[in-house]
Amino acid sequence: MERVYLDYAAATPLDSRVLAAMMPYLTTRYGNPSSLHYWGQQARAAVQRSREKIATSLAVPSTRMVFTGGGTEADNLAILGYLRANFPHGGHLVTTAVEHHAVLRTFDFLATQGYEVTQVPVQADGRVAADAVAAALRQDTVLVSVMAVNNETGACQPVEAIAALTRERHIAFHVDAVQSYGYRAWHPADTGIDLLTICSHKIYGPKGVGALYIGPGIQVAPDTYGGPQEHRLRAGTENVAAIVGFGKAAELLEQERPARICRVTALRTLLYESLLSSPDLRDIRYNGSRHHTAPHIINISLAGADSAVLLIALDRLGIAVSAGSACEAGAVRPSHVLQAMGVPDKWLRGSLRISLGKETTADDIRRFVAALQKVATGIYKGERL
């Protein structure tokens, strides 16, 4: 059976050009970047070249970039590291109700450690209003964290407006840009973002490597102790091959982002129109914003359905989609994002996230819609799927 992959928001395939760039550092160039000899200096130079490529993609100095083991680790280093260095005894923190669990659960932990946390509610389209964030800020607010693009719905948050608020009040601002990095050129220094998280496996690079931008004047304390690697913020030998792959993926992204956006946007329009025009999908709901959204994510719900049942049924037909965040794929409870948006119970448990990539085709879209129609027809007839 020929399969269709529509879960690019969870992980993208490794670009063959990225793999080719990585291969020497998985085979013959095996030196430790901390070693002073030839092999070590080869590895150190490769890490630095990748740091410069990623920094260039963000229009920041390479000295501002720290490599991590992924987006979750970068989020944790940003939030916990900033507070350890500046406000170790508590303070007021602001985030939204629809953040990735890498952020939400970090704030949950901090709430047990003497910090006060405000989760700002979102509107029905999944976007937070800048005015609502402004209303949540207090004299003792020390950090705001808002994701750029929601990983489940694709909703784009008003980052620039929030950055203006935090800059005016001299409050540190962290942005999780993991899901948006592939579809928007971020310039955090110009935007007023103090800490920005990105990762590799959303842009056709390897898994297990991310990066954190740390703005001028922002102090961050380490989360691991040992050697002096990564500006003394992440001790331990660097994953050279993965970092090289990340750098190559970022380089390709800068060259190809406009074409990728154009192609994926057209496919998203085809998907949206095909879903809404299908007579066999008579009780379907679109979750999110039509106008303030990333081009690669659509979130829908089928009334009265169950996401797990839908996923299994579609997988049997060769279609790979998800019910939300890949990090929560084993969970059976409804999405916290859709709950925060006020999605009615009728549609809450039957949600699907369809996410597109640079290898998605129009035929993939048609096959998915046909498969969903078949599954939905079975549900409407009361068949056991």
Catalytic residue numbers?
327
Rounded distance between C-alpha atoms, residue 145 and residue 248, angstroms:
28
Cβ atoms of 153 and 337 within 8 Å: the answer is yes
State the DSSP code for 20: H
DSSP string computed for 119-157: EE---TTSPPPHHHHHHH--TTEEEEE--SB-TTT-BBP
Strand ordering across the sheet containing 141-145: 65-68, 210-214, 195-199, 172-176, 141-145, 92-96, 116-120
In this structure, what are the phi and psi dihedrals at residue 327, rounded to the nearest 5 degrees?
A: -70, -15
The residue written with tokens 């369809």 in the block is 354
State the amino acid at position 382 in one-letter form. G
State the amino acid at position 224 in one-letter form. T
State the amino acid at position 195 in one-letter form. L
Rounded distance between C-alpha atoms, residue 24 and residue 3, angstroms:
32
